[in-house]
Structure 1
Amino acid sequence: MVRAWYMDNNISDQREENHRIPQKFISLKELYNISGVEYYKVNIDSYSSDELLEDLKKERGYTYEDEITCSKDCLQNYEEKLKSFFREHLHTDEEIRLVIDGSGYFDVRDRNDEWVRIEVVAGDLIIIPSGIYHRFTLDTKNYIRAKRLFIGEPKWTPYNRPVEDMDCRKEYIRKLENGEFNFVQ
């Protein structure tokens, strides 16, 4: 099960050992309410035919998918890629990741611009909204394999902070301010 917690905002080093001590754990409901990040648990043993995953694809219009493996052995320019993943950025589309194997961390900014760390392991699916500042890093195992889902052709472009004038950022802020991220279950 995914865990999320507030972290020290003054730490800029991506190394996991610098973020091991959570400042304050938060629930999935709180995570959604403060950031819009959605979480789902997928049966990893049968993810290729998982009903929840299929429903999400249809409901949200995900038509393209691929896999990425982040490890020293599998990722070209490993150190450079990890540095770019950890650089604070946003995307114009949702970022959807289903962890198939391994583990890592997604860091997102909450409504008060504080960092929240989300630990993901196999079976965790998170949806990071368009326009939210975020970053990714591996844990000490240095390995994750994840399925990436997209609407149409994948858009890989990260827009590094600050990009407050982008339409997707303005829309994200509007949703936060209007309370449009309300947990329903």
Structure 2
Amino acid sequence: MVIEAWFMEENDEDQRLPHHRNPKEFVSLDHLAELGVLYWHLDPSDYENDKELQKIREARGYSYMDMLDLCPEKVENYEQKLRNFYTEHIHADEEIRYCLEGSGYFDVRDKDDRWIRIWIRPGDLIVLPAGIYHRFTLDTDNYIKLMRLFVGEPVWTPFNRPQENHPARKEYIKSVTEKIGFPVEAH
């Protein structure tokens, strides 16, 4: 199974809905890779012994791991947390998430400032590069269990948009510009 991603229709409906455009416009893994988004599909049923996961962790330096169960029954101030996760932001470091159960959406901005919705389900491991504008929400099932991976000690500091002068954002724009070969407008 390959991860699904698509350009979003922006509206004020429930953030947990798919928000497909009409007609639907799917986004390829190659397009996500051009934005610096990395993806692997692994076996979530045996993550403790998964050699592929261990290889990824070693190669990328992901030395710290924790788990997050996100649902109304397990998270204090659930509605507020979901609103916070859905606020557009960047991080100074990569955001690495491995879906073990449930499902949800990571939204990322492309070079033209359009939202791309990435639907993660069990087995999907994604890496969002430092400096990419993004946000997260659950889908209508209201449940996800994520493994969070970090290089060294965990740092989860969101920097809400605008952040054009943040060093991670500048480096991200530079890396995307060099990959594509033409300037990307800073938003």
Q: TM-score, normalised by structure 1?
A: 0.91
- Structure 2 CA distance for aligned equivalents of residues 73 and 83 of structure 1: 16
* Conservation of the 8 A alpha-carbon contact between 2:7 and 2:21: no
What's the TM-score, normalizing by structure 2? 0.91
Change in 2 beyond 3 A, CA 1:18/1:11: farther
Report deviation, 1:31: 1.4
Aligned counterpart, 1:116: 116
Query: How far apart in 1 are the matches of 2:12 and 2:54?
Result: 37
Gaps of 5+ in 1: none
Counterpart position of 2:28 = 27
Distance in 1 between residues matched to 2:141 and 2:102, nearest whole Å: 8
Matched, 1:147 2:143: no
| Unaligned segments of structure 2, at least 5 residues | 182-187
Which residue of structure 2 aligns with residue 85 of structure 1? 85
Aligned pair count reads: 179
Partner SS for 1:17: coil
- Secondary structure at 1:105's aligned position in 2? strand
Root mean square deviation of aligned Cα: 1.7
CA distance in 2, matches of 1:92, 1:101: 27
- Contact kept, 8 Å, 2:93 with 2:130, in 1: the verdict is yes
2-structure distance, mates of 1:26, 1:38: 14
TM-aligned CA distance change 1:32 to 1:78, over 3 Å: same
Deviation track 1:49-69 (CA, whole Å, cap 9, x = no partner) reads 212211111111111100001
What is the distance in 2 between the residues matched to 1:149 and 1:176?
A: 23
Quick check: 1:95–1:130 contact (8 Å CA) kept in 2? yes
Contact 1:66 1:147 in 2 (8 A): yes
Other-structure match for 1:7: 8
Letter in 2 for 1:110: D
Q: Secondary structure at the match of 1:81?
A: helix
Give the conservation status (yes or no) of the 8 Å contact 2:70–2:145. Answer: yes
**Match of 1:101, as an amino acid?**
E
State the match for 1:17 in structure 2: 17
For residues 18 and 123 of structure 2, the distance between their equivalents in structure 1, rounded to whole angstroms, comes to 25
